Amino acid sequence: MAQPTLEEFRRWLQSEIKDIEEIEESIDKAKRLLQLEMALQEAMVFDAAWEMRTEASIDPVIREKSVRLLSSAPESESNITSMGICTSCDAEIDEDLEFCPACGENR
Closest separation between CB of residue 101 and Zn ion, Å? 8
Residue 101 neighbours by CB distance under 10 Å: 20
Q: Can you tell me which of 65, 82, 89, 92 binds Zn ion, judged by CB under 5 A?
A: 89
The correct pick among 13, 36, 56, 100 for binding Zn ion (CB under 5 A) is 100
Strand pairing category for 83-85 and 92-94: antiparallel
Q: Tell me: does residue 91 bind Zn ion (CB under 5 A).
A: yes
Residues 29 and 48: their CA atoms lie apart, in Å, by 29
36 makes contact with Zn ion (CB under 5 A): no
What gap in Å lies between CA 54 and CA 3, rounded to an integer? 20
Of residues 68 through 87, those in contact with Zn ion by CB under 5 A are: 86
Q: What span, in angstroms and rounded, lies between the C-alpha atoms of 31 and 49?
A: 27
Interface with Zn ion, residue 33, by CB under 5 A: no
Residues 6+ apart with CB under 8 A from 63: 55, 56
For Zn ion, which residue of 7, 21, 88, 95 counts as binding (CB under 5 A)? 88
Determine the size of the site formed for Zn ion (CB under 5 A): 8
Contact positions toward Zn ion, by CB under 5 A? Answer: 86, 88-89, 91, 100, 102-103, 105
